[in-house]
């Protein structure tokens, strides 16, 4: 039973956003993607009256508020800290990775070089989360 997910993608690179969107459409998935270019905007979205996303895909290297700073704020927020957050990044810096896991993440996915590999990874991540029970309308 595949659930349709609302995914908040926080990513500053336009091509990366295109990649995710193209991946979802080429896989014929019907998940909702909310995209935002940086942490500051993402905070605004989460504060708004919108429905909260089911999962967050978070890039680490971003201007303004970077990924780890955003993650820290998110996890300190009573209303938002339950949202599974998956890091989607190029950085395999072990320090960053440890830091993220300590703060609390639901996954750490390295962006592969090859687009096909990327598609495969995203497919599996979304498939995994769509068969999970998730907190809604909290």
Residue ranges in contact with another protein by CB under 8 A: 13, 15-16, 18-19, 22, 61, 89-91, 93-94, 96, 111-116, 118
Which SS3 state, helix, strand or coil, does residue 18 take? Answer: helix
What is the smallest separation between the CB atom of 2 and another protein, expressed in angstroms? 25
Q: Which two tokens stand for residue 113?
A: 């070089």
Place of tokens 């750490």: 108
Task: State the DSSP code for 132.
Answer: S
Q: Which is nearer to another protein, 11 or 54 (CB)?
A: 11
Which SS3 state, helix, strand or coil, does residue 36 take? Answer: strand
What is the smallest separation between the CB atom of 51 and another protein, expressed in angstroms? 30
Q: Which is nearer to another protein, 80 or 119 (CB)?
A: 119
| Region at 64 (left for phi over 0; alpha for psi -120 to 50; beta for the rest) | left
Q: Which is nearer to another protein, 2 or 26 (CB)?
A: 26
What is the smallest separation between the CB atom of 120 and another protein, expressed in angstroms? 12
Q: Which is nearer to another protein, 83 or 100 (CB)?
A: 100
Cα separation, 51 vs 99, whole angstroms: 29
What is the smallest separation between the CB atom of 81 and another protein, expressed in angstroms? 27
Cα separation, 7 vs 52, whole angstroms: 9
């Amino acid at each position: 039973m595949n659930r349709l997910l609302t995914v908040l993608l926080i990513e500053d690179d336009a091509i990366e956003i295109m990649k995710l969107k193209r991946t979802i459409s080429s896989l014929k998935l019907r998940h909702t993607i909310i995209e935002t270019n940086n942490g500051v905007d993402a905070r605004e979205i989460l504060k708004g009256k919108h429905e909260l996303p089911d999962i967050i895909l978070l890039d680490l290297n971003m201007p303004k508020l970077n990924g780890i700073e955003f993650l820290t704020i998110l996890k300190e927020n009573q209303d938002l800290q339950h949202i599974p957050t998956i890091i989607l990044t190029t950085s395999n810096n072990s320090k960053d990775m440890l830091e993220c896991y300590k703060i609390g993440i639901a996954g750490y996915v390295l962006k592969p070089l090859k687009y096909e590999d990327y598609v495969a990874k995203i497919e599996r991540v979304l498939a995994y989360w769509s068969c999970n029970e998730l907190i809604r309308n909290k």
